[in-house]
Amino acid sequence: MSGTPATDSAICEVVVAHDVRARRAILSRRLLHRYYVRRSISIALLVAIDVAAVVAAVELAPLLWGLVGVAVETPTMAEMLWAALIVIGVQALTRMYSLREERARLVPFLRANLAILLVIGLVMLLTYNSITSQSAVYIWVFFVLFSGVGRWLYNSLLKGVYGHIVPRRPVVVIGRPDHAERLAELFARYPAADALRIDGIVEGMREESPPADGDAVAAQAAAPRSRASLAETDGRTTRALRCLGDLDSLEDVVERWRPMEIVVSDPELVRERMFQLMDLCRRQRLTLRMAAPGLQFDGASVSFVPGFGMPVFLVRTTIGRPYEYEAKRAFDILSAGLLLLLLSPLMAAIAIAIKLGSPGPVFYRSVRVGLGQRPFQCLKFRTMKTDAERLQADLERQNQASGALFKIKDDPRVTRVGRLLRRTSLDELPQLINVFRGEMSLVGPRPLPLRDNELMEDWHMRRHVVLPGLTGLWQVSGRSDLSFDRMIELDFKYIESWTFFRDLSILVRTAGVVLFRRGAY
């Protein structure tokens, strides 16, 4: 979202147990949700179709190609097994086991099968095989044919049993009752919205005075019925819309009704709470849809959804493809462990230099704010005098940084050895221990001291929904030369557009920044 958002008087608090990019363990009650049961069965059947297509292609391709005089070799049982595993892996990575409206399209299907051929060809180049590459292509042609026919029959069966799209995902609408009823009519009319089922609405703050004590129970019982509405469109009747609560109770509504999507039909109700709403969707793994214009978002995080008869935009609240975060954490642990081992002689030499240069400990344990606004001890090589924190209050008027940051280019508290360590960024090497322990990542928003964090505004706290990093987009874009507002903007940009490959790009750029000492003091 561009610009500085308006905030209410309530203190914004980010409380998350895990990085929002990590896969959340599905609770047993969610696992038994009808949606998950049907999705699991659907995925199992699609895998069975692909495996059956592999077996059918291996067994029938030699016979069928033989009718036109083409000789095809038959692979061994082991080769057929690893071919099936490749098919399942590639199909999963290319989302061919996703929802029907996505997997049933021709172009993604052909792209996935071309990827299967390329992967099998690469494996054949690297290993010994009993069949030729020409025979493998002939078998692959029939696999594509059998898999396509099997999937078409399966999708046609689902369409005949459940309608256009299955299964329907439970939705909670935020907006006024009249807007929500209009949205329900559109959901019933347009095929693109058939996958959604409105469970109820969440209204803005209630302004009416509370009922008398004697009428409280009756009024509460009548509230869901007073908001009920039926909309008949094209011979179909939408579900009665119930008032599930107001914005203050939205988190309780989500916890009770377990929706999979939130649709905002009235943006004015959430304009001042947009960041809190997006944070809730991140933590609960919900899709957030905006069914009205008027709010500005980063174009990389929003996509237009056609077919609803009105402007509907999809706001992506979870970043990265499946397993990308797992790859990131594995890379962090392996890299941090390897670097600690390789750099141990250098770190020992730095420790000796610090001891000889000034009295005091080798390491400086700075309390920083990390994931979920939880404090942790961020390790650094000591670069200042031992009484540096006490002297900071006297230096506040010389602060050269904007916003909540504290920076002085020629800080008198920095030791001679410390100045060299800061110029070369070697003082941050001990943070590899924080990365290895899971308190930090190699790449992420920079963790700030408690002093800086207390001066931040509420809407800045969104940066704490991911693990802090040893380096990040801020470091490779100018470091200390950038303003505080620009740092926050870059942090949000990183969170919204994160991918594992972007992390790798930042690491490569960090090497150049450190080498040329840009923005370090």
Per-range mean pLDDT, top range of 82-91, 126-135, 217-226: 82-91
Please, where are the H alpha helices in 271-370? 274-284, 324-342, 344-357
Determine contact, residues 113/134, Cβ cutoff 8 Å. Answer: no
Residue 283: predicted pLDDT: 81
Q: What percent of the chain has pLDDT over 70?
A: 71
Q: DSSP states of 107-161 as a string?
A: HHHHHHHHHHHHHHHHHHHHS--SS-HHHHHHHHHHHHHHHHHHHHHHHHHHHHH
| Residue entry with tokens 């309780």 | 252
Q: How many CB atoms lie within 10 A of CB 426?
A: 18
pLDDT at 349 exceeding the cut of 90: yes
Label residue 39 by pLDDT band (50, 70, 90).
confident
Residue 198: predicted pLDDT: 81
Residue 495: predicted pLDDT: 83
Residue 241: predicted pLDDT: 75
Residue 473: predicted pLDDT: 86
Mean pLDDT in residue range 342-358: 92
Residue type, 280: L
pLDDT at 315 exceeding the cut of 50: yes
Beta-carbon-side half-sphere exposure of residue 378 (alpha carbons within 13 Å): 21
Tokens of 382: 């000591």
User: What is the residue-averaged pLDDT of the chain?
Assistant: 77
pLDDT at 412 exceeding the cut of 70: yes
Buried b (16+ CB within 10 A) or exposed e, 300-317: ebbeeeeebeeebbebbb
Q: DSSP states of 53-67 as a string?
A: HHHHHHHHHHHHHHT
pLDDT at 20 exceeding the cut of 80: no
Residue 14: predicted pLDDT: 57
Residue 79: predicted pLDDT: 87
The closest of 386, 420, 389, 392 to 521, measured between CA atoms, is 420
The closest of 443, 453, 315 to 14, measured between CA atoms, is 453
The CA-to-CA distance between both ends of the chain, in Å, stands at 32
Please, where are the H alpha helices in 378-426? 388-395, 416-424
Mean pLDDT in residue range 280-309: 64
Label residue 71 by pLDDT band (50, 70, 90).
confident
Residue 258: predicted pLDDT: 85
Q: How many residues does the chain have?
A: 521
SS3 440: coil
pLDDT in tens, 444-492: 998 888 877 777 777 777 788 889 999 988 888 766 567 777 888 888 8
Task: Kindly tell me the sign of the dihedral angle through the C-alpha atoms of 214, 215, 216, 220.
Answer: positive
Residue 332: predicted pLDDT: 94
Mean pLDDT in residue range 12-23: 67
Tokens of 121: 């060809």
Label residue 400 by pLDDT band (50, 70, 90).
low
Please, where are the H alpha helices in 227-323? 250-257, 267-270, 274-284
Residue 216: predicted pLDDT: 44
Residue 231: predicted pLDDT: 36
Q: How far apart are CA 396 and CA 373, in angstroms?
A: 24
- Of 11-25, 175-189, 219-233, least confident by mean pLDDT is 219-233
pLDDT in tens, 75-92: 888 889 999 999 999 999
Mean pLDDT in residue range 420-428: 87
Q: How far apart are CA 160 and CA 153, in angstroms?
A: 10
pLDDT at 322 exceeding the cut of 60: no
Specify the CATH class of 168-209+219-315 in words.
alpha beta
Determine contact, residues 253/244, Cβ cutoff 8 Å. Answer: yes
Task: Show the beta-strand stretches assigned E in 370-404.
Answer: 375-381
Distances (CA, A) of 484 to 164, 479, 504: 50, 10, 25
pLDDT in tens, 256-291: 888 888 888 887 788 888 888 888 888 888 888 877
SS3 281: helix
- Of 67-81, 199-213, 345-359, least confident by mean pLDDT is 199-213
Q: How far apart are CA 399 and CA 382, in angstroms?
A: 21
Q: How far apart are CA 36 and CA 38, in angstroms?
A: 5
Residues 6+ apart with CB under 8 A from 200: 172, 173, 224, 241, 242, 243, 244, 253, 257
pLDDT at 152 exceeding the cut of 90: yes
The closest of 196, 131, 151 to 49, measured between CA atoms, is 151
Tokens of 214: 């004697």
Label residue 4 by pLDDT band (50, 70, 90).
very low
Backbone phi, then psi, for 83, in 5-degree steps? Answer: -65, -40
Distances (CA, A) of 486 to 239, 401, 461: 47, 12, 15
Mean pLDDT in residue range 97-125: 87
Mean pLDDT in residue range 139-166: 83
Q: What percent of the chain has pLDDT over 90?
A: 21
Buried b (16+ CB within 10 A) or exposed e, 38-59: ebeebeebbbebbbebbebbbe
Chain centroid, CA 411 distance in Å: 39
Give the residue with greater pLDDT, 422 vs 429: 429
Distances (CA, A) of 312 to 5, 100, 193: 21, 20, 11
Tokens of 178: 């009249």
Beta-carbon-side half-sphere exposure of residue 190 (alpha carbons within 13 Å): 16
Tokens of 367: 């309390």
Residue 5: predicted pLDDT: 44
Where along the chain do its domains lie?
Answer: 34-162, 168-209+219-315, 324-516
Residue 212: predicted pLDDT: 46
Q: How far apart are CA 374 and CA 372, in angstroms?
A: 5
SS3 371: helix
Tokens of 1: 């979202």
pLDDT in tens, 226-245: 343 333 333 333 345 788 88
Q: How far apart are CA 434 and CA 467, in angstroms?
A: 11
Residue 57: predicted pLDDT: 92
Q: How many CB atoms lie within 10 A of CB 66?
A: 11
